[in-house]
Structure 1
Amino acid sequence: MKQEQLQKLVEDISITFFERPFLHEARFNNRLRTTGGRYLLRSHDIEINPKQFEAFGEEELIGIIKHELCHYHLHIQNKGYKHQDSDFKQLLQKVGGLKNCQLIEGTRNKVTTKHQYSCTKCGLIFNRKRRIDVKRYVCGSCKGKLKKII
């Protein structure tokens, strides 16, 4: 799908489901990794993750566009456009947009444990990416001393 096709699709969905025109730019953004799309508050543009379309098809893409258009139209009307606002939740349910997009395999960074510490008093184990100073820090539960395992 090309940029022009995406723009037309967003404009069509806006008229069909929201009965309001989409007057700004919709574009693909290859740098998006963990999100399906985003609405830009200052420019009112919408960016879509092309990897979502490639991985899950047009139906998923339409759900993402509906989600971003909910942000767009509510923000333009000075209503609650954030995820926690009731206006947003009601409109999203009304138009059938996606609350969350599907996870593309390999897009999230895997957390690797490099350092492991144990409390000498209660035995609680702490997994850490970064090293900590055992002379300076104590156990968060019982204030016991920490000992490095790995």
Structure 2
Amino acid sequence: MTENELQRLIEEISNQVFNKPFTHAASFNKRLRTTGGRYKLSDSSIEINPVVLEKYGTEELIGVIKHELCHYHLHLEGKGYKHGDKDFKKLLAETGSPRYCKQLAEVKPKRVVLHIYRCTSCQLEYKRKRKMDIRKYRCGKCRGEMVYVKTIG
């Protein structure tokens, strides 16, 4: 889909669903990562993440467009256009627009790094997520000196 086709689609949806014209610019923005689209207050334009169309198809794209048009029309009318506002939630329900976009970015599991320390007196091992200064800390059991053993992960 080209940007001209996107512009025409948004104008059509605005006229059919909201009975109001969309008179500003619409474009694809490849830099969007976690959101399906965004309404820009500064110039009243709408940007759409092209991944929505690639990953989920036209139906999800139309949902994202309707969501952004809710922001657009409410903002221009001077009503509550933010996600928590009653006007916004009401218009979402009236137009059948989704509140959230489907997940776009894959969730990567966090890598856990553990630092292992050992007491020189009682040999008790300590596992820590953060490094610690062994000159400042002693063993909690016997007050012995600590040594750095290794890093896991």
Instruction: Output the amino acid matched with 1:114.
Output: V
C-alpha displacement of 1:132: 5.5
C-alpha displacement of 1:103: 1.2
Match of residue 22 from structure 1: 22
1:69 and 2:69 equivalent?
Answer: yes
C-alpha displacement of 1:111: 2.8
Shift of the 115–44 alpha-carbon distance from structure 1 to 2, 3 Å rule, reads farther
Name the SS for the 1:103 alignment partner. Answer: coil
Where structure 1 has 5 or more consecutive residues not aligned to the other structure, the ranges are 118-125, 137-147
Aligned 1:127-138 pairs, distance under 5 A: 131=130, 133=132
Where structure 2 has 5 or more consecutive residues not aligned to the other structure, the ranges are 117-126, 138-147
C-alpha displacement of 1:98: 1.3
Match of residue 4 from structure 1: 4
Match of residue 104 from structure 2: 104
C-alpha displacement of 1:104: 2.8
Q: CA RMSD for the aligned pairs?
A: 2.4
Shift of the 115–57 alpha-carbon distance from structure 1 to 2, 3 Å rule, reads same
Shift of the 132–89 alpha-carbon distance from structure 1 to 2, 3 Å rule, reads farther
CA distance in 2, matches of 1:98, 1:89: 10
Name the SS for the 2:79 alignment partner. Answer: coil
CA distance in 1, matches of 2:46, 2:101: 16
8 Å CA contact 1:15, 1:21 repeated in 2: yes
C-alpha displacement of 1:114: 2.4
CA distance in 2, matches of 1:81, 1:116: 48
Shift of the 95–109 alpha-carbon distance from structure 1 to 2, 3 Å rule, reads same
Match of residue 51 from structure 2: 51
Aligned residues between the structures = 128
Shift of the 133–2 alpha-carbon distance from structure 1 to 2, 3 Å rule, reads same
8 Å CA contact 1:113, 1:127 repeated in 2: no
Q: Which has the higher strand share?
A: 2
8 Å CA contact 2:36, 2:104 repeated in 1: no
Shift of the 44–127 alpha-carbon distance from structure 1 to 2, 3 Å rule, reads farther
Shift of the 17–110 alpha-carbon distance from structure 1 to 2, 3 Å rule, reads same
TM-score (norm 1): 0.76
Instruction: Output the amino acid matched with 1:79.
Output: K
Shift of the 27–113 alpha-carbon distance from structure 1 to 2, 3 Å rule, reads same
